[in-house]
Structures are given as structure tokens and as C-alpha cells.
Amino acid sequence: MAMKSLSFLAVLSLLALTLPLVISSDPSPVQDFCIGVNTPANGVFVNGKFCKDPKVATADDFFFSGLHNARPVTNAVGSNVTAVNVNNLPGLNTLGISLVRIDYGVNGQNPPHTHPRATEILVLQEGTLLVGFVSSNGDGNRLFTKTLSKGDAFVFPEGLIHFQFNVGRSPAVAFAALSSQNPGVVTIANTVFGSNPPINPNVLSRAFQLDPRVVMDLQNKF
């Protein structure tokens, strides 16, 4: 009897250890593929998308073209992110992976942000980038940073605030893979100062130890 109890406890312990691994990323598919479509006609809803009948799938469902082309950089932060995810490459549905191309102008950056559903690995194709992420409160908010040259790679753990900044004298290009078909993005400045409706300035002035007028000025910028 004691042996059976120990075995039962061992199974429970193993489940406790493995369950977080199972639920920490996109659900595993139960078929070869599930082409995402936006209409329920003859489809089954799986992981945020309706599935196309696999019998009518084609190679185009798994194809995206044009990532070799430079993107214009015209915004205030000096970067342009081209996402390849389930929304524009439907064959990614249920496969738990996506891709981005990032073009950086001189002094451009991909500002501090998080991906709530994905770990990211970035490879620098051209230029020089200062990259980094900040650990959680429980780890003391430590900054992990590195200057990347062409061919270097860096990993940003899921959910942690991270950034890239072009410290070179010419434009830079990077590609990154993310461990979700739809990783999501939360840009810190836009979220805090550009929410709709705005967060009460008194909340932010206390949080950031700023005069409420400074907070309102920042909110007006976003």
C-alpha cells in the first residue's frame, strides 16, 4: 500500500513539473497542418482561426515572399517591423512559430517592448545593434545586454522587456523567430502613455515619480 502511495505521489510530482511546459507555448497540433481562414464555412475553429479543409490546401498556404526587400523607415522610433505570422501566412496556424524582419535607420531602435506569448531569437544580418532585456522583479530587474555584429544572435525570454538600438553608422537589418504563431507585442511607452482611454496622470506620476504635468505632456505625445 505504501509503495502504491509513493508511486501515485511520484506521478503527481512528474505532472506538476511537466504541465507548465505543456501550457507555456502554443497548443500542439493534432494533425499535419491547419490552414487558418477567416470564414467558418466548412471550417473548424482551432487556436484563434478557422481551419481550411486540408484536402484543398496548396503550397501557397505555406509561402511568403519579399523578405529580402528593404523596408522604408519613416516613424519616430526609426525602425520598421515586418511580421510574418498567422495573420499573413495562414499555414502557420497551430504550428507555434513566426518570423519578423526589422529594418533600423541610423540611431533607430525597436523600443522597449514585450511579447506576451513568445520567446524570441534574433539574428543580425547587417549593421551593429545594442540589444538587451531586463529580468523580472523577483530577479532584481537585471539588465542583460550585448552589442551585436553581423551574424550574431541573441535570445529574449518570453514576456520580458527587451529592445534593440542601432549604434552603427549605417542602417541595420535583423531577422527574428518567435515561438508563437501570433506572439503579440506590448510596446511599453505606447501602452503606458498612449492607452485608450488614458491612465489617470496621478497614477503614473506616483509610479514614475514625476510631476503630473510631465505625465500629461508625455501622454499628449502618444
The C-alpha atoms of residue 168 and residue 130 are separated, in whole angstroms, by 9
Q: Is 115 annotated as a binding residue?
A: yes
Task: Give residue for cell 505521489.
Answer: 9
Q: Count the alpha carbons within 13 Å of 131 in the hemisphere toward its beta carbon.
A: 21
Neighbours of 201 (CB within 10 A): 19
Q: Is 68 annotated as a binding residue?
A: no
The C-alpha atoms of residue 145 and residue 132 are separated, in whole angstroms, by 4
Q: Residue 132 in 3-state DSSP?
A: strand
**Sequence ranges of the binding site for Mn(2+):** 113, 115, 120, 162
Q: Report the binding-site residues.
A: 110, 113, 115, 120, 162
